[in-house]
């Protein structure tokens, strides 16, 4: 319940249509029947009043609490700032867990490992994401002294964590997300790098390799590199550093996994080194934390800090408004620490010692559009540095003011600030650039510090209606240039970009760039610019075209190291669908024009086969496959307890697959078309994520008949990963698949 009575004259928030869907689905309170009973106005007041109530704990500011509640409400409903999702979901509720980022230790003992599984489940249930380092676990086949047996290694336990995550929805709305990190000097490093070779493996984990400067120097020298047993600290083997780095690059080229983090760089910025090393980050990599530490995040919408020129003055950033937002946001986030009910006492203790917050930004692309500055330009990079330095400096100023009012964070005397006499601060860290996939939909702005993914696109809405959407600043610029038309917007929506539309003004094409228009070097330069003045780290994806080479990725990884980034994630367009070539008769070149029409084989009276049971998100699928000469000849797909519509679709798919088989279509070609098709419900089955009925059939065919062969790059429209909630294509940015339509996110 709200802590303060809602003022009678409190204005209703203005909410865009996408935000209405997102808020209703994920944030507004529901009764036991799942019926929403909280209005959006009540939601924002619930959060504002609960966070402002924490002021009453401090004598100096207790009288300000009621007025501050309104300030917080207006800060959020103007979309100048929004806190992370758990705060919007849980503030002012009995659950009360408000932080997004957690790191848990995984010790080299069976009891501790399963304690970590249990603790992760508790965090996911409350809406948080978890990071783990598996570097303390002894290597596969190492002797376990207490039992005389052999260890199964980090990867086997990683799979246990993944399966546990699969069973728990995060905050009641989605499955939890995890980060799994292994040091590059661990004996099992090569196996860990290859952990996600099979599509669907470890689907609830992002993986990163913890690189060290010793390793990077060995790569540069093409030297051998020591592998260290974590239980003893002794060298137990050597590998050529280039071989490790080449495999990392190869796997990133194939699928984007694993990413890399630079552990030495992270720990140079560790504000409390006497409390221990930071060995892992949260799921998207922007928040390094100590074991049993949490952090709450929030983002300022830079698009709201644009000052349109008046009285002949040029357009620029409204620095006074940005300063006001920063100071109010730091106070908000510091209050969140006190308001939050953490799921474990160890976490409560560590958080109260360090009081870390993570204030970041979103709407960066929108601000650049308004300023008419191209994302891929030195002007934009220089401006990024200037803005983030301002956010950091004013954030620290706000934290110092809070320290004077309430006291500095308790471990301040053991921190790098104390040694350098820079404080005192209220918070051990203040700035983080976090993903804002959901928040940016609510705020109606571009996500984080990413470029826009498309200038215009068509959204499917209810009853198969199509709704054209476009960036408002782009649309305004088109109108100013007398270039706007409905036909043009439809043309742009097909490709998302205007880069090759030479009939449009050149300055428009230079300014309104999208993620795939931008050369990788500018993605990296932008990440490094924001990192320079960010206490924690920056969540950003370097987007690459489908034809990018492994050499391109090598260059990105190396430059990320040279530029001072704390980690990097790459994504080659389409690389999370199947990659390797289909072999066999289907590889033969055919003269399509002269090819004879397929002849459908007659069905014999008696034919034998097998029936396989597959759990899908729509019910249990019973797939009967009849064979001739060891090859599939026909299939029958039936699904129980799912209603007539689903049953009819399953039967139709079975008939069409049967027709294709009897017409001589190769198994790998059928798998190529069916594999990866997303459905409205997806279900994890042992080691495979069943995305739909067609995907289930593809999995059975691939497992039984292809014997290690893999499908060719399938038709793009079919192999696009789709949102399981609304069916729209997912976009990969900030380390996660994100649905721009309904805010579904999937990390891992």
Q: What CATH number should be reported for the domain holding residue 95?
A: 3.20.70.20
Count Cα neighbours of 390 within 13 Å in the Cβ-side half-sphere.
20
612 forms beta bridges with 623
Mean pLDDT of the region 620-629: 87
Please indicate whether residue 199 or residue 675 has the higher confidence score (pLDDT). Answer: 675
Mean pLDDT of the region 631-660: 82
Mean pLDDT of the region 7-32: 93
Same domain, 714 and 738: no
Q: What's the pLDDT score for residue 175? A: 65
Same domain, 736 and 590: no
Residues 138 and 449: their CA atoms lie apart, in Å, by 38
Going by the DSSP 8-state scheme, the letter that residue 23 receives in this structure is I
Contact between residue 467 and residue 488 where contact means Cβ atoms under 8 Å apart: no
Same domain, 561 and 676: no
Structure tokens at 689: 């994520």
Same domain, 387 and 417: yes
Same domain, 192 and 339: yes
Residues 556 and 520: their CA atoms lie apart, in Å, by 7
Going by the DSSP 8-state scheme, the letter that residue 380 receives in this structure is H
Residues 735 and 748: their CA atoms lie apart, in Å, by 8
Mean pLDDT of the region 413-436: 87
Same domain, 366 and 296: yes
- The reply to whether 592 falls in a domain is yes
Contact between residue 10 and residue 70 where contact means Cβ atoms under 8 Å apart: yes
Question: Which parts of 583-735 fold into alpha helices (H)?
Answer: 644-662, 667-674, 693-705, 716-719
Same domain, 549 and 694: no
- The reply to whether 119 falls in a domain is yes
The pLDDT mean for the chain works out to 88
Catalytic residue among 53, 201, 286, 733: 286
Same domain, 126 and 195: yes
Contact between residue 442 and residue 23 where contact means Cβ atoms under 8 Å apart: yes
Positive or negative torsion for Cα 268, 270, 273, 277: negative
Percent of the chain with pLDDT over 90: 63
User: What is the number of other CB atoms lying within 10 angstroms of the CB of residue 523?
Assistant: 25
187 CB contacts (<8 Å, ≥6 apart)?
A: 139, 140, 142, 227, 228, 229, 236, 237
583 CB contacts (<8 Å, ≥6 apart)?
A: 668, 709
pTM of the predicted structure, to 2 decimals? 0.82
- The reply to whether 735 falls in a domain is yes
Same domain, 593 and 738: no
- The reply to whether 715 falls in a domain is yes
**In the annotation, is 286 catalytic?**
yes
Q: Residue 688 above 80 pLDDT?
A: no
Pairing of strands 178-183, 129-133: parallel
- The reply to whether 37 falls in a domain is no
Residues 98 and 123: their CA atoms lie apart, in Å, by 11
Angle, CA 368 vertex, CA 365 and CA 370 arms, to 5°: 110
**pLDDT-derived band of residue 584, with 50, 70 and 90 as boundaries?**
very low
**pLDDT-derived band of residue 687, with 50, 70 and 90 as boundaries?**
low
Nearest to 288 by CA among 530, 103, 565: 103
Same domain, 553 and 614: no
Domains in the chain: how many in total? Answer: 2
Catalytic residue among 18, 270, 284, 728: 284
Q: Residue 107 above 70 pLDDT?
A: yes
Pairing of strands 731-733, 688-690: unpaired
What is the per-residue DSSP string for 479-505? HHTT---HHHHHHHHHHS--TT-TTS-
- The reply to whether 628 falls in a domain is yes
Residues 36 and 22: their CA atoms lie apart, in Å, by 12
Contact between residue 130 and residue 120 where contact means Cβ atoms under 8 Å apart: yes
Q: What's the pLDDT score for residue 476? A: 95
Structure tokens at 134: 């598996």
- The reply to whether 48 falls in a domain is no
Q: Look up tokens 């080479």; give the residue.
A: 549
Q: Which domain holds residue 705?
A: 585-720
Q: Residue 589 above 70 pLDDT?
A: no
Same domain, 716 and 747: no
Q: Look up tokens 């721009």; give the residue.
A: 740
- The reply to whether 483 falls in a domain is no
Residues 287 and 536: their CA atoms lie apart, in Å, by 6
Structure tokens at 732: 């990969």
Same domain, 207 and 132: yes
């Amino acid at each position: 319940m709200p802590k303060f009575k809602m003022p009678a004259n409190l204005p209703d928030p203005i909410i865009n249509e996408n935000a209405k869907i997102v808020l209703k689905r994920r944030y507004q309170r529901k009764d036991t029947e799942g019926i929403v009973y909280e209005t959006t106005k009540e939601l924002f007041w619930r959060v504002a009043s609960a966070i402002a109530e924490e002021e009453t704990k401090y004598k100096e500011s207790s009288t300000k609490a009621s007025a501050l509640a309104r300030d917080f409400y207006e800060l959020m409903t103007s979309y100048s700032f929004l806190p992370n999702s758990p705060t919007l979901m849980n503030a002012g509720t009995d659950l009360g867990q408000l932080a997004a980022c957690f790191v848990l230790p995984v010790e080299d003992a069976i009891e501790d490992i399963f304690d970590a599984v249990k603790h992760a489940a508790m965090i996911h249930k409350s809406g948080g994401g978890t990071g783990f380092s598996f570097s303390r676990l002894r290597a596969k086949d190492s002797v376990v002294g207490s039992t005389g047996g052999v260890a199964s290694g980090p990867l086997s336990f990683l799979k246990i964590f993944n399966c546990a995550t699969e069973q728990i929805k995060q905050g009641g709305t989605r499955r939890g997300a995890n980060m799994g990190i292994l040091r590059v000097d661990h004996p099992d490093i090569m196996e860990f790098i290859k952990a996600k070779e099979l599509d669907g493996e470890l689907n609830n984990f992002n993986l990163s390799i913890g690189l060290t400067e010793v390793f990077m120097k060995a790569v540069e020298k093409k030297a051998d590199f020591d592998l260290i047993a974590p239980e003893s600290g002794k060298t137990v083997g050597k590998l050529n550093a280039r071989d490790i780095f080449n495999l990392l690059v190869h796997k990133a080229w194939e699928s984007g996994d694993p990413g890399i983090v630079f552990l030495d760089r992270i720990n140079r910025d560790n504000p409390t080194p006497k409390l221990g090393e930071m060995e892992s980050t949260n799921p998207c990599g922007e928040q390094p934390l100590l074991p049993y530490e949490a952090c709450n995040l929030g983002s300022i919408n830079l698009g709201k800090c644009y000052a349109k020129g008046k009285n002949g003055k040029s357009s620029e950033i409204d620095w006074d408004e940005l300063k006001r937002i920063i100071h109010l946001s730091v106070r908000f986030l510091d209050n969140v620490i006190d308001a939050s009910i953490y799921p474990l006492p160890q976490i409560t203790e560590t958080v109260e010692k360090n009081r870390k917050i993570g204030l970041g930004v979103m709407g960066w692309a929108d601000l650049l559009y308004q300023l008419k500055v191209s994302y891929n330009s030195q002007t934009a990079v220089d401006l990024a540095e200037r803005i983030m330095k301002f956010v950091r400096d004013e954030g620290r100023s706000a934290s110092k003011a809070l320290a004077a009012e309430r006291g500095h964070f308790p471990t301040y005397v053991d921190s790098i600030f104390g040694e350098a006499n820079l404080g005192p601060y209220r918070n051990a860290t203040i700035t983080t650039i976090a993903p804002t996939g959901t928040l940016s939909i609510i705020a109606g702005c571009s996500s984080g510090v990413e470029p826009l993914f498309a200038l215009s696109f068509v959204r499917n809405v209810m009853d198969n209606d199509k709704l054209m959407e476009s960036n408002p600043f782009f649309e305004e610029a088109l109108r100013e240039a007398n270039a706007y038309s409905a036909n043009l917007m439809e043309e742009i929506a097909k490709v998302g970009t205007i880069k090759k539309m030479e009939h449009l003004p050149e300055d428009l094409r230079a300014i309104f760039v999208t993620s795939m228009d931008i050369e990788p070097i500018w993605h990296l330069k932008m990440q490094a610019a924001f990192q320079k003045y960010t206490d924690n780290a920056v969540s950003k994806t370097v987007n690459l075209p489908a034809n990018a080479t492994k050499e391109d990725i090598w260059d990105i990884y190396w430059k990320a190291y040279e530029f001072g980034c704390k980690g990097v994630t790459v994504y080659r367009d389409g690389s999370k669908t199947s990659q390797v070539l289909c072999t066999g008769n289907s590889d033969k070149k055919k003269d399509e024009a002269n090819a004879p029409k397929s002849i459908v084989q007659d069905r014999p009276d008696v034919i034998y086969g097998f029936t396989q049971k597959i759990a899908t998100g729509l019910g249990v699928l019973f797939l009967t496959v009849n064979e001739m000469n060891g090859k599939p000849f026909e299939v029958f797909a039936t699904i129980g307890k799912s209603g007539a519509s689903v049953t009819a679709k399953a039967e139709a798919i079975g008939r069409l697959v049967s027709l294709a088989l009897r017409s001589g279509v190769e198994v790998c070609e059928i798998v190529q078309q069916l594999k990866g098709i997303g459905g409205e419900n997806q279900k994890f089955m042992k080691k495979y994520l069943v995305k739909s009925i067609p995907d289930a059939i593809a999995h059975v065919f691939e497992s039984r008949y292809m014997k290690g062969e893999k499908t060719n790059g399938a038709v793009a429209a079919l192999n696009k990963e789709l949102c399981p909630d609304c069916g729209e294509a997912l976009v990969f940015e900030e380390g996660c698949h994100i649905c721009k339509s309904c805010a579904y996110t999937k990390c891992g």
